[in-house]
Each structure stands twice: as C-alpha cells, then as structure tokens.
C-alpha cells in the first residue's frame, strides 16, 4: 500500500523559508502526480500545489503562487515543497497527497484526484 511521510515543518519568522519533504513508499513515484494541501483547524483543506505525472506541469493556488515551488525526485521517491517569503497566514498543517491511479492528464491540479494522504507536518509562521 502507498504510504506518505512528510517532514521539514517548524517555526519560522515571517519572510523566512522552509522546505517540506514527502517520502512515498509502496510503489515507485514515477508516473504518478503528487500534491500538497494545507489545513488550519476549523477550515477546509486548501489545495496549494501539485505536479503532474511527468513533472512537466505544475499547479499553484493563487495564495502561494510566486512563493512556493513543488518539485519531485523520482529516484528518491520524494516530493518537495519549497516555501519562501512565508506569511503568518501560511500557518497550517501541510499534507502531501498521491492518487490511486497513474497519469491522469489535467486531473493532477484538482484535490479530488488524490486518494492517499500523509500524517501532516506543522508549519508555524510568526510575525
């Protein structure tokens, strides 16, 4: 079965940077889209970034566009989320996500495509 483990969260001041990592196990990463979402208690989960199966296309929510970068290293079965110019409103638990099915065309950019989720890593940005 697919398992996802996030790491890299922590406490950072506004304007700082963090890099989150998500290691996938149970199958090769190749040919599967990967995504990142975040959630604040009492709020719906917000889909913030995704990369398609080939690595040739990415998606970013307007709230993070220009500040966050998603990347993948298939040889390491790892997906990253580089977060720069962090703001207090970025404070959330960040989850990585993987779909059950490979490929998927444009579906990679929609949260509903994803079936597997990690346990989350806390990011706290102070002012």
Mean of pLDDT over the chain? 97
Average pLDDT over residues 5-32: 97
CA torsion through residues 124, 68, 106, 62, sign? positive
Average pLDDT over residues 25-30: 92
CA distance 108 to 122: 24
Average pLDDT over residues 75-90: 97
Per-residue pLDDT, 86: 98
Say yes or no to pLDDT of 1 above 90. Answer: no
**Beta-bridge partners for 18:** 83
For the chain, the helix, strand and coil percentages under 3-state DSSP, each to the nearest 5: 10, 45, 45
Residues 6+ apart with CB under 8 A from 125: 12, 13, 14, 16, 86, 87, 88, 89, 90, 91
């Amino acid at each position: 079965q697919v398992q996802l483990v996030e790491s890299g969260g922590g406490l950072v001041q506004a304007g700082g940077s963090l890099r989150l990592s998500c290691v996938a196990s149970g199958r090769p990463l190749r040919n599967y889209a990967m995504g990142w979402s975040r959630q604040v208690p009492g709020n719906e989960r917000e889909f913030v970034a995704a990369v398609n199966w080939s690595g040739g296309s990415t998606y970013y929510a307007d709230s993070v566009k220009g500040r966050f970068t998603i990347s993948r290293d298939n040889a390491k079965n790892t997906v990253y989320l580089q977060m720069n110019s962090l703001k207090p409103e970025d404070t959330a638990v960040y989850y990585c996500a993987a779909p059950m099915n490979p490929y998927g065309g444009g579906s990679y950019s929609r949260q509903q495509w994803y079936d597997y989720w990690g346990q989350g890593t806390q990011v706290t940005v102070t002012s």
